[in-house]
Structure 1
Amino acid sequence: MSDLAMQKKKPAKVPVHGPQHSKQVRIIGGSWKRTPLPVLDALGLRPTPDRVRETVFNWLNHLLDNWSQSQVLDLFAGSGALGFEAASRGAGAVTMIDANTGVVRQLDAIKEKLKAANVTVLRADALAAAQSLALRGQRFDVIFLDPPYGLNLLERSLPLCQALVKEGGLVYAEAEAPLMGEEEEGGGGEAPDWLAPWEVVRFDKAGLVHFHLLRLRAKGA
């Protein structure tokens, strides 16, 4: 049989589906720099790109007084790229929340592998968890909001953060569009009502990702 005939008889490779992870991201700084984080093939799971995380943590390094004193909340944890990045850089405590059981198991496995004593992983609906944390009086220096796109989760979760963020604290918000429309690009866009209590401290864009650091406006401002 010719080589060409043998090649034709080889069975095609069948893609594997199920709990395997299709890709991975890496922690880019701190004690666990270059540690890979598996990304499960879960609905809406979209890790924050390396370039974006590098920019955001540069911002935070300039704006935070002390990472080791910081309380951090990662409300839509997903791959854990943001929460574990903060923990790697020495955050005092990081609370990571996700509703997907498989994702939470993966986060727990990473936490155990890293011996990340400063990380707490909770399985819960993000909006319900935010309300519960606020009722318990918990407050955070940094809150990460990177929800799945297209579900209006940012405009539903950001108002809840008013009762969760410490005075002078920061909220990271990632979205598929600028939060303030054309205003961020130098136009005259008007902020939606749910964004009105917040000022945009920093913003940038990488590909289709628009990312922002927000801070509550001073009362009366």
Structure 2
Amino acid sequence: MSKHSSSHRRQRSATGRVRLIGGRLKRSQLDVIDSPGLRPTPDRVRETLFNWLSFDVPGKRVLDPFAGTGALAFEAISRGASDAWLIEQQPKVAALLEHNAERLKVADQLKVTKGDALALLAAPASYRAGLVFLDPPFHHGLASSAAQLLEDHGWLEDEALIYLECESSQPAQVPDNWTQLRCTQAGESMAFLYQRQPSS
């Protein structure tokens, strides 16, 4: 099958769209599909997050271990992040992320890996991020485990910023050297912005 026809097949599998809200890709649409655990971050929460980040995005290396729609990483690229690594376990979702990157002409800045985020983060870091989006599927206790793996295996720059989204009924535990900068709640979702302080 040609790359062209494969791209069209992935496009036909899309069941919805997410709109980017700022930067050079503002108003661009990401194709998304229904998939278990896929929970796009609402526009209002994304807008709040990037208001929090303000001028901290340009030049950042971004890690999105539970990419889903990829909206947060694409938004960061749109606003000047240097590059982003997205990890996604669902093959169809990962393929659609690659399709969106090609369609929006950011494939040279955005790497997609199909795999299990916790397994990848449990290995020694192959990438050091200055900005991390930690937004795993709810009700599986993944956020606390992922946060500790990021810290333990060297995935974070010294003063990395970490956005973490978790369910209010199951607050995540984060490493002691992560300082909470911001917090907001929308429905059952709690959203936090942390900054890592280098361990002494």
Q: Name the TM-score, length of structure 1 as normaliser.
A: 0.77
How far 1:164 moved relative to its partner?
Answer: 1.2
- The number of residue pairs the alignment matches comes to 186
Is residue 212 from structure 1 mapped to residue 189 from structure 2 by the alignment? no
Within a 5 Å distance, the mapping from 1:35-184 to structure 2 comes to 35-62=28-55, 64=56, 67-116=57-106, 117-132=108-123, 134=125, 136=126, 138-162=127-151, 163-177=154-168
Task: Report the 3-state secondary structure (helix = DSSP H, G, I; strand = E; otherwise coil) of the residue aligned with 1:132.
Answer: coil
Give the match for residue 202 of structure 1: 182
Give the AA of the match of 2:135: D
Identify which of structures 1 and 2 has the higher relative contact order when contacts are C-alpha pairs closer than 8 Å and 6+ apart.
Answer: 2
Asked if 1 retains the 8 angstrom alpha-carbon contact of 2:183 and 2:190, the reply is yes
Give the superposed CA RMSD.
Answer: 2.0
* Whole-angstrom distance in 2 between the partners of 1:159 and 1:199: 14
Give the match for residue 184 of structure 1: none
Structure 1 segments, 4+ long, off by >4 Å, are none
How far 1:195 moved relative to its partner?
Answer: 4.3
Are residues 156 and 113 of structure 1, via their aligned partners in 2, closer, same or farther at CA, if it must alter by over 3 Å? same
For structure 2, which runs of at least 5 residues remain unmatched after alignment? 1-11
How far 1:160 moved relative to its partner?
Answer: 1.2
How far 1:129 moved relative to its partner?
Answer: 1.8
Q: What is the aligned-residue identity percentage? A: 39
Task: Report the 3-state secondary structure (helix = DSSP H, G, I; strand = E; otherwise coil) of the residue aligned with 2:92.
Answer: helix
Are residues 178 and 166 of structure 1, via their aligned partners in 2, closer, same or farther at CA, if it must alter by over 3 Å? farther
Give the AA of the match of 2:74: F
For structure 1, which runs of at least 5 residues remain unmatched after alignment? 1-18, 181-190
Are residues 167 and 104 of structure 1, via their aligned partners in 2, closer, same or farther at CA, if it must alter by over 3 Å? same
Asked if 1 retains the 8 angstrom alpha-carbon contact of 2:20 and 2:26, the reply is yes
Which structure: larger Rg? 1
* Whole-angstrom distance in 2 between the partners of 1:164 and 1:74: 12
* Whole-angstrom distance in 2 between the partners of 1:195 and 1:204: 20
Give the match for residue 187 of structure 1: none
Q: Name the TM-score, length of structure 2 as normaliser.
A: 0.85
Are residues 108 and 123 of structure 1, via their aligned partners in 2, closer, same or farther at CA, if it must alter by over 3 Å? same
Are residues 121 and 204 of structure 1, via their aligned partners in 2, closer, same or farther at CA, if it must alter by over 3 Å? same
* Whole-angstrom distance in 2 between the partners of 1:77 and 1:142: 14
